[in-house]
Structure 1
Amino acid sequence: MTRTIPLFVAAAVVAAGLGFGALAATPSPPGAVVYFHYPLDRIHVPQRFTVRIGLKEMGVAPAGVSKPDTGHHHLLIDTDPGDLTKPIPNDYNHVHLGNGQTEVVLTLPPGPHTLQLLLGDKDHIPHSPPVMSKKITVYVR
């Protein structure tokens, strides 16, 4: 017995990424690493400071540009990476460096804060496997 799926249900399934041609994650090359040049873990920083980002075994390309072995940076502030199969949110806790920047100036309130880097593909989706730094803690004066 065959069942017919109404068109609007099939469209919702595709939009939700639940099948019928869901996109595969962009692969990352072996040995790809993203890391902090500055700041380093457990350092004290002023309220306004510059984050400098390093990347090995991959290149940087702006969001929307499809080029093998490239991506763009996302800085996660006081949050966890979340679902690595979905686009990285764009809010206070998820800073998108979609123009291909490798540094960003942050202003944070005094106290401890966690920072983590996550590389996204042309569509802001983490690569597979994800190219992600260790989470570091900075102490804002």
Structure 2
Amino acid sequence: MKHDRIAAAACALAALFASAAVADGHRSAAPEGARAWIVLPENGATVSNPVTIVFGLEGMGIAPANVEQDGTGHHHLLINTDPATLDMEQGLPATDQIVHFGGGQTQVTKELPAGTHTLQLLLGDWLHVPHDPPVLSEVVTITVE
């Protein structure tokens, strides 16, 4: 619990920095051909808890949040979230539906409620701001038993 609160506070602080950076015209360029995808689970899979989600990335490197390095970013997992509702000019908020992996993680094992869920990856730069253009995976739909 303490670790979750510290992580949330760090994300909130990064979002403040991101707002200032974006106001100064900051938005990291995505390398041409960069792509993200969900390796597991496969689209249409029926799974049980806990669900292991494995991230794929090509054409870019992974770097933790707050480490500014060209051609890198870190994953954000969108759960039941339409990216069209997000402001791609701002740092992504940390919520139950927008899960940050600012440590550079490339997979997670997570409890999800029973039912159908959509999963999608969105890469963010060192300040959690999506790249230009956004590096966004295809949607994977799963059913949790």
Q: Identify if the C-alpha distance between structure 1 residues 109 and 16 changes in structure 2 by more than 3 Å, giving closer, same or farther.
A: closer
Q: Which structure 2 residues correspond to residues 1-141 of structure 1 after superposition, within 5 A?
A: 22-81=24-83, 82-141=86-145
Encode CA deviations 1:69-103: one digit per residue, 9 max, x unaligned: 00000000011221111111101001100000000
- Conserved 8 A contact 2:19-2:90: no
Structure 2: any 5+ residue segments left out of the alignment? 1-17
- Conserved 8 A contact 2:37-2:56: yes
> Does 1 or 2 have the higher relative contact order (CA < 8 Å, sep 6+)?
2
Once the two structures are TM-superposed, the CA of residue 106 in structure 1 deviates from its matched residue by 1.2
TM-score by length of 1: 0.84
In structure 2, C-alpha distance between the alignment counterparts of 1:16 and 1:132, rounded to whole Å: 21
In structure 2, C-alpha distance between the alignment counterparts of 1:109 and 1:47, rounded to whole Å: 8
TM-score by length of 2: 0.82
Partner SS state of residue 108, structure 1 = coil
One-letter amino acid matched to 2:24:
A
In structure 2, C-alpha distance between the alignment counterparts of 1:23 and 1:30, rounded to whole Å: 20
In structure 2, C-alpha distance between the alignment counterparts of 1:41 and 1:57, rounded to whole Å: 23
Larger proportion of helix: 2
One-letter amino acid matched to 2:111:
T
In structure 2, C-alpha distance between the alignment counterparts of 1:80 and 1:65, rounded to whole Å: 27
User: For the aligned residues, what is the CA RMSD?
Assistant: 1.7
One-letter amino acid matched to 2:105:
Q
In structure 2, C-alpha distance between the alignment counterparts of 1:89 and 1:51, rounded to whole Å: 20
One-letter amino acid matched to 1:63:
A
Structure 1: any 5+ residue segments left out of the alignment? 1-14
